Structure 1
Amino acid sequence: MHKLTACLFALILTGCQLAPEYQRPESPVPASYPEGEALTDERHFVAAELPWQAFFADPRLRVLIRQALANNRDLQAAVHRIEEARGLYRVQRADRFPSLGIGADATRGRFNPGGAQAVPGSGGSVSDTYSVNATVSAFELDFWGAVRNLSTAARAEYFARIEAQRAFRLSLIRDVASTYLGLREAVERIALAEATVSSRRDELRIAKVRLDAGITSALDFNQAEALLTQAETQLAAIMLTRAESQNLLAVLTGGVVAESLPEPMSLAEQSSPPALEAGLSSSLLVNRPDILAAEQRLIAARANVGVARAAFFPQVTLTGSFGYASSEFSNLIGSSNETWSIGPSITLPIFDFGRNRGNLTVAEARDNIAIAEYERTIQTAFNEVADALAGRRYLAEQVDARRRNTETLQRVVNLARKRYQEGVVNYIEVLDAERSLFEAEQAFIQTRRAEAQNLVNLYVALGGGTLGE
């Protein structure tokens, strides 16, 4: 009997493990990246260990990111969701322990000699009753681990919320940087377009003088005017883009962007952040907060399978109380006035018309869904890093090629203008050369921005800043 009692007590403490044993699924991606060795710098940094303040050199951008992390409403909501999950975990964890309550009671009544409550005019005596007791109400003996698995699921959900908040924080940094780089691109393109509009207005003025003097034709004048309106149209479109970027930046930073900001850096300077080491794809499993969040959700789903399986077994609850009761308050506490009661309650499911089986099917399906989502998150992360590594290599080549193309087209424009002034070619050749140069210069700025944006994407894709702050 003593051995049986000891085994029963151990079973109460440990419970049966009905949840599937958790094992991290195999990574569904290759161990290395296609462009993982493209970097030739001598000094590399691990993105997860590099704080964002050290990665972004632009002082204005650092101020904007800091403002966004402090004031962004979506990030604040994510922080509050962590507190919500923490509270739910505490509630669920409390169910693993008995709930102890203390109560006291005092009553006075008039009773018949036979013990029944007296009625008016029937006589009887007046008596007092005092009691104090401690109770344990409906404490479930967790034989099958249902309560423990519920606590495990709640804890995993809490950790998942923490990682989700970190993932959102990273995405917010990326969004602010992306919007800011778009704004810097618009500013540089506007400066180029304004200079082009000014130059073409001078050319149109000269063309008008030449037309009035009979030196050139109306066709040349109209072509010069068309070239000016083209630049003016492009300028208006870029100014619209700048206004939209400013509005989005205000939303991301949680309010109106301060006017007194540090001087910004050019796009060329934005393309020279610290060199990042790609490492192996397995490092994403511990550096990417979205992958860690997906894994915690998988752990929670697996624990819920154990909860669903436990529903097929008897549920045992225990209710007990201990206290004192007396008709005299002065001697209430004493061994002669002790009262106690204890009693288990067993509920065994017999006919539920498939409810428990349905709940188990749902839990197992959600477990399989969580596995698929975890693996998909890893694949997405691998794809993002691989794309950013390829961009780091080939966008740098594009920037160099566009720079050389712009320099060549500038020489073409100079030669075309000289040949036109000498009367060797028509104005249409100048028109085509200047149009090509303007488009090449705009594309050069856009490619610089794409290179800077890609480096930000690589930093975030590698889990930048998650360990360094």
Structure 2
Amino acid sequence: MKKSLFTMAALAMLAGCSLAPVYERPAQPVAQAWPAGDAYKGVPAAAADAKPVSQILWREYFADDKLRQVIELALANNRDLRVSVLNIEKAKAQYNIDTAALLPKLSANVNQSASRTPSTMTGTGEAAINRQYSGGLTMASYELDFFGKVRNLSEAGLQTYLGTEEARRAQQITLVSEVANAYMTLIADQQRLKLAQETLKSQQTTYELSQKRFASGVVAGTDMYDAQTSVETARNDAAVYTAQVALDQNALALLVGSAVPENLLPTGDLSEVSQLAAIPAGLPSDLLQSRPDVQEAERSLRAANANIGVARAAFFPSISLTASGGSASRTLSGLFKAGSSTWSFAPQINLPIFDGGVNRANLTIAKADRDISVAQYEKAVQTAFREVADALATRGTLDDRLTSQQALVQAAEKSYTINEARYRKGADSYLNALVSQRALYSAQQGLITTRLAKSSNAVSLYKVLGGGWQPELPQPKG
């Protein structure tokens, strides 16, 4: 018995050879620097000691306290994020199952077997009942991992599990950015609604003045009808944005996973809420490796690489061990007494000879899966690079757009003020005032849109550079 146990231990120590290819990260299929050109001139250069975006926590990045609280609610209640967490638990359990195959499985058992022999078959002429009791430890069929099959299965399970962790990180970063964008979109639509209501109120006054002048015969009917078109346009926009604000609140509630408390809904201007921390933009492209979706793609590639080792091991012999040891007796009282010990040891060698090409086909599939994963990894890197480049190009031109739009609003305000005053004094028809009023209204709407674009770009850049993940731990009180 001792010799058999020693043999088992020696064989187990010899196991562990792996036939999986040595993993090498594919070369980055993108440039080593961000694009340059006129679109990127407005992007500030990063300081030498700039913290990578992946290390900037979202609580540090978003300065508005209400917005931070809304994000915390979303991280606690969002159903998509909850599914990601459950997928992690599922993958972890599967990895534990795969890892358990590296160790032998032992079980304790106590058995009884009884049989009756009829009197016609016994020499004594009387029926006989035979009983046998046994108990001990049993090791089920345990495969010695000479060629790394079990270890590579465990490695593939580990990489799949870690991939779900990266998927959860990606889901959280996406959720944070979606909540921030939805929150700021709600603010922008509130401002558009406020602008439409103020315009309606102003144009209603002008329309009433036109009605009085038309009734007294001072102006033609065209002035009154022109003023009415402006009123109805503003009335329509007010109704549209009233509905849009409600839709924005519904969208925010879906992201949060519950109704947003009234005290956390935005009430200020976009410029007051979207005070976001600065982002170091001039970073080398290899920092894209910090993006969780890129890391998830690499985990899939590692798992596919390990599966090649599993497929290769199928070409080689496999050795399985089954053993048991314990005690046996014809009587229950004699079980485990001196002289009742028993054991069995049954090694088995399986050598594949002919399988109709199944093993070779499985190896071809494993290699194809690895090549597919390489292409998917490279595509993930290229997509990440493109998203960052797009965000940087937008960021580089937003300041010019915002400055131009602010100047346009100022010029439109002056034009409208002059033409409105001339109309009220009867020095001009309402047509010029109407044209300038519509130009002002359009410029003000454009300014709100540009401010929202700048805030959304900052959020997008934060997301595409892989920033903002940290465990959601209870915050200290006081």
TM-score > 0.5 by shorter chain:
yes
1:82 and 2:88 correspond: yes
- The residue number in structure 2 matching 1:145 is 148
Say if 1:346 and 1:40 are closer, same or farther in 2 by CA, change over 3 A: closer
Say if 1:16 and 1:7 are closer, same or farther in 2 by CA, change over 3 A: farther
Q: For residue 127 of structure 1, report the CA deviation from its aligned partner.
A: 4.9
- The residue number in structure 2 matching 1:20 is 21
Amino acid in structure 2 at the alignment position of 1:28: P
- The residue number in structure 2 matching 1:38 is 43
**Match of 1:276, SS?**
coil
**Match of 2:97, SS?**
helix
Q: For residue 130 of structure 1, report the CA deviation from its aligned partner.
A: 2.2
Say if 1:242 and 1:13 are closer, same or farther in 2 by CA, change over 3 A: farther
Deviations 1:326-356 (A, max 9, x none): 2344443356322222122222333322222
- The residue number in structure 1 matching 2:408 is 405
* Structure 2 Cα separation of the partners of residues 117 and 247 of structure 1: 85
Contact 1:45 1:275 in 2 (8 A): no
**Match of 1:228, SS?**
helix
Q: For residue 69 of structure 1, report the CA deviation from its aligned partner.
A: 0.5
- Aligned pair partner of 1:426 in 429, 444, 450: 429
1:169 and 2:175 correspond: no
Amino acid in structure 2 at the alignment position of 1:438: Y
* Structure 1 Cα separation of the partners of residues 445 and 249 of structure 2: 20
Q: For residue 419 of structure 1, report the CA deviation from its aligned partner.
A: 3.3
* Structure 2 Cα separation of the partners of residues 135 and 7 of structure 1: 14
Deviations 1:292-345 (A, max 9, x none): 111111111111111112222222211111121123444433563222221222
* Structure 1 Cα separation of the partners of residues 91 and 130 of structure 2: 52
Say if 1:430 and 1:462 are closer, same or farther in 2 by CA, change over 3 A: same
Structure 1 residues not aligned, in runs of 5+: none
Q: For residue 111 of structure 1, report the CA deviation from its aligned partner.
A: 5.2
* Structure 1 Cα separation of the partners of residues 41 and 102 of structure 2: 48
1:229-308 aligned at under 5 Å gives the runs 229-261=232-264, 264-278=267-281, 279-285=283-289, 287-308=290-311
- The residue number in structure 1 matching 2:475 is none
Q: How many residues align?
A: 462
Contact 2:11 2:144 in 1 (8 A): no
Deviates more, 1:218-227 or 1:424-433: 424-433
1:73 and 2:79 correspond: yes
Deviations 1:195-218 (A, max 9, x none): 000000000000000101111000
* Structure 1 Cα separation of the partners of residues 121 and 375 of structure 2: 69
* Structure 2 Cα separation of the partners of residues 180 and 101 of structure 1: 58
Deviates more, 1:52-61 or 1:263-272: 263-272
Contact 1:289 1:466 in 2 (8 A): no
* Structure 2 Cα separation of the partners of residues 252 and 91 of structure 1: 35
* Structure 1 Cα separation of the partners of residues 31 and 374 of structure 2: 18
- The residue number in structure 2 matching 1:93 is 99
Say if 1:48 and 1:22 are closer, same or farther in 2 by CA, change over 3 A: same
Aligned alpha-carbon RMSD (Å) = 2.7
Deviates more, 1:408-417 or 1:357-366: 357-366
Contact 1:50 1:468 in 2 (8 A): no
Say if 1:363 and 1:224 are closer, same or farther in 2 by CA, change over 3 A: same
1:378 and 2:374 correspond: no
1:153-232 aligned at under 5 Å gives the runs 153-232=156-235
Contact 2:166 2:293 in 1 (8 A): yes
1:61 and 2:67 correspond: yes
Say if 1:433 and 1:242 are closer, same or farther in 2 by CA, change over 3 A: same
- The residue number in structure 2 matching 1:458 is 461
**Match of 1:75, SS?**
helix
* Structure 1 Cα separation of the partners of residues 250 and 438 of structure 2: 31
Say if 1:265 and 1:374 are closer, same or farther in 2 by CA, change over 3 A: farther
Say if 1:212 and 1:265 are closer, same or farther in 2 by CA, change over 3 A: closer
Deviates more, 1:293-302 or 1:320-329: 320-329
* Structure 2 Cα separation of the partners of residues 330 and 90 of structure 1: 41
Identity %: 37
Q: For residue 94 of structure 1, report the CA deviation from its aligned partner.
A: 0.6
Structure 2 residues not aligned, in runs of 5+: 473-478
Contact 1:61 1:264 in 2 (8 A): no
* Structure 1 Cα separation of the partners of residues 210 and 426 of structure 2: 14
* Structure 1 Cα separation of the partners of residues 469 and 22 of structure 2: 29
Q: For residue 189 of structure 1, report the CA deviation from its aligned partner.
A: 0.6
* Structure 2 Cα separation of the partners of residues 17 and 446 of structure 1: 58
* Structure 2 Cα separation of the partners of residues 41 and 421 of structure 1: 54
Deviates more, 1:241-250 or 1:32-41: 32-41
Hey, which bits of structure 1, 4+ residues long, moved more than 6 A? 5-8
1:104 and 2:110 correspond: yes
1:417 and 2:420 correspond: yes
Say if 1:10 and 1:462 are closer, same or farther in 2 by CA, change over 3 A: farther
**Match of 2:323, SS?**
strand
Amino acid in structure 2 at the alignment position of 1:22: Y
